[in-house]
Amino acid sequence: MFKCCKSSVVKSEHCKDKLDLIETEKAIYFIKNYFQEALAKELNLLRVTAPLFIESGTGINDDLNGVEHPVEFSIKACGGCKAVIVHSLAKWKRLALAKYGMKPGEGLYTDMNAIRADEDLDAIHSIYVDQWDWERVITKEDRTIEFLKKMVNKIYNVIRSLELHVAKRYPETKAQLPLNITFIHTEELEKLYPDLTPKQREDEVCKKYGAVFLIGIGGNLKGGLPHDGRASDYDDWSTPTEKGFKGLNGDILVWNDVLKSAFEISSMGIRVDKTALECQLKLKGHEDRKKLLFHKMLLNDELPLSIGGGIGQSRLCMFLLRKKHIGEVQSSVWPHTMIEKLKKEDICLL
């Protein structure tokens, strides 16, 4: 059963948090404006308008881990054709790059709003997802781990700069990110902590370094399982890189001192080319997707090579404002039992 939280949600005097509801809303506004402008400048991105839903059966929607089901509905004006709420815009953005005729070094970003109805809800997961989705055209020569790291450093520097500005405005938040982000491959992480789960490995490495870019997510590790799931048709997780490792993608993770755990802020990567797409579709048993619009265009060289990712808006706000629950920085729907539990902990949901 779901229901809305009542009195404690609207009465900011019930909150133990030093930033009450009004100050929190002001801080969210500041963070979102600062970040998107700084990101666009750093990566040379144009802000574009993006869809909330797309036509079903085109292969454009993000499959995430391959098991989530999109919210679907019929459109009366289109003769009852089916549309699906986006999970993310990972593949739509690449189509947009081609449509806008963008060249290497140019790119776009947009506000992505999604509904992930199958999400397991907790302190950092909501059925409502808001993120900055970005994509940039690259050359064949850019499809390297060195170029990936260069882009990660640019994004991390924007995040760290923003943290310093937030700490100046709201001293109680205190800046904590290290000067540099540490790069480590999932294969190396498995070797370091062979007896731990992937999540436990993330906790250990983030606690040690403060900020980590974890490379190579989606392909099987030496132990036979992937560190985490990735769809077969956007990030390149199969191309070999240095040291024999595979993968040109990864996650930006930071140590969240409030939650005492690793905290994902961004998932990103160099996107599949024809070779990687063929390989990954076969590995995942998804070769039937070659007949879909997106996949046919990619295999026919009708889409540019690109790098891109998503940066969680609520995740970033939650981290920078030292919030305990994502519902403190976004408005969503939560189970009644969770609402009651959070009330007792004096956590104010928006």
Residues with catalytic annotation? Answer: 62, 116, 131, 251, 264, 267
Residue type, 319: F
Q: DSSP code of 292? A: S
Residue type, 164: L
Rounded Cα–Cα distance for residues 146 and 96 (Å): 26
Residue type, 98: A
Pairing of strands 211-215, 249-256: antiparallel
Helix, coil or strand: residue 222: coil
190-202 burial: b if 16+ Cβ within 10 Å, else e: beebeeeebeebb
Rounded Cα–Cα distance for residues 148 and 307 (Å): 8
Helix, strand, coil abundance in the chain, percent, nearest 5 = 40, 20, 40
Instruction: Provide CB contacts within 8 A for 110, sequence distance 6+.
Output: 47, 48, 49, 50, 89, 93, 132, 133, 134
CA torsion sign for 65, 67, 71, 73 is positive
